[in-house]
Amino acid sequence: MAAPSCSVPGLWVRGSWQRLGNLFTFVSKPLCSAAAASRPLDAQRLAERLRAQKQEQKTKKPVPTNPVQRRVQELLRFTEQLQRVHPNVLAKALSRGLVHQDKDLVVINKPYGLPVHGGPGVRLCISDALPVLAKMLHGHKAELLHLCHRLDKETTGVMVLAWEKEVAHQVQELFRTRQVTKKYWAITMRVPVPSAGVVDIPIIEKEAQGQERHHKMTLSPSYCMDNGKIVRVRTSRNAQLAVTQYRVLSSTLSSALVELQPITGIKHQLRVHLSFGLDCPVLGDHKYSDWNRLAPQKLSACILKKMGLPQSKARHIPLHLHACQLTLPALQPGKEELNLVCKPPRYFVHSLHRLGLRMPSRDQNGDEEATHSGAQ
């Protein structure tokens, strides 16, 4: 005997009750399609995400076998990821690496590649994460954290924040009146001569004439050589006093680890004094290694060999400038000065090791002695 059949618009079901599952399957599909049509934005986002993933798979490069090239690639990827992460994620990372915290101040270890303030083309900056960081440290009713000073996007190290605006103004005044002692470490191409001294040359911002017009900070010296004689020249009104104290901590024939103590606080002062004053640009400084060009830093064959990189990959080398120490005077009577020390990032230490440089460490008496970076 033939099995009974029934007819449904757009659907035909034959057989026993066991087949009714097919009915719900076929009916659910148009219903899902209708729901998807009612959410065109979600479907569009999903399609864009799938296209982006497919494009990323196409452009994915093979992992280099050289360990230094792998570290450079990882650092480049990390810098790009920093600009895509949510402020909550950045705040959590900053909270894990706190250098100091008390009722007045919070001191963070600023990572590489993050600007302090927002601006054109900036998707994420330190100031975006401060409200979340404050809640992580003091609960949901915490007051906002305030910036006390700034560091360049590519510079790493000690950065001071304040819980109250009055304390932030107090610290800013200490910076302005040069009562704060700041020390930086820089890995340089070539070795400064003499090995210790003071660079006292004013700095001015000028337009560099090259293939692409751009502005840079440069030296505006008060003296020049004329027929073997030192002659005083007229300086520009826009030139700013800039003084940097330096000393070489470790050196090889092609590179050096230099400690820098800026007496003044002019924009890009350390980079300009090293590159144009001492002819020893910071490793990874692609802006100030050449005055007329905006191009990747030209590295010597010796440095390229030690780093295990071809010149074509030099553009990926990060700036090796680290704010390692900051000493704040006592903010209130009866309190001691605050000495803040921050370890350099891993890529900095790896570069020291590859270049054969030694990183100083402090013994129990506070004296500095050279120890190999591989021991850190």
Identity of the residue numbered 230: I
The answer to whether the CB of 135 falls within 8 A of the CB of 145 is no
User: How far is it, in rounded angstroms, from Cα 103 to Cα 265?
Assistant: 27
Helix (H) or strand (E) holding 87: helix 87-96
Q: Is 5 exposed, middle or buried (0-12, 13-18, 19+ CB in 10 A)?
A: exposed
Quote the CA–CA distance of 117 and 90 in Å, as a whole number.
14
Positive or negative, the CA dihedral 351, 357, 358, 359 is negative
User: Which amino acid is present at 339?
Assistant: N
10 Å CB burial of residue 100 (0-12, 13-18, 19+) is middle
- Contact by Cβ (8 Å): 171, 331: yes
Torsion of CA 340, 110, 87, 115, to 10 degrees: 130
The residues, ordered by sequence, that sit 6+ positions from 59 with a Cβ below 8 Å of its Cβ are none
Three-state SS at 351: helix
- β-pair type (321-328, 156-162): parallel
Tell me how far apart the alpha carbons of residues 112 and 97 are, in angstroms, rounded to a whole number: 13
Q: How many CB atoms lie within 10 A of CB 345?
A: 19
Backbone angles phi, psi at 232, to 5 degrees: -75, 135
Tokens of 188: 């340089």
Residues belonging to the active site: 152
Check: CB of residue 254 under 8 Å from CB of residue 190: yes
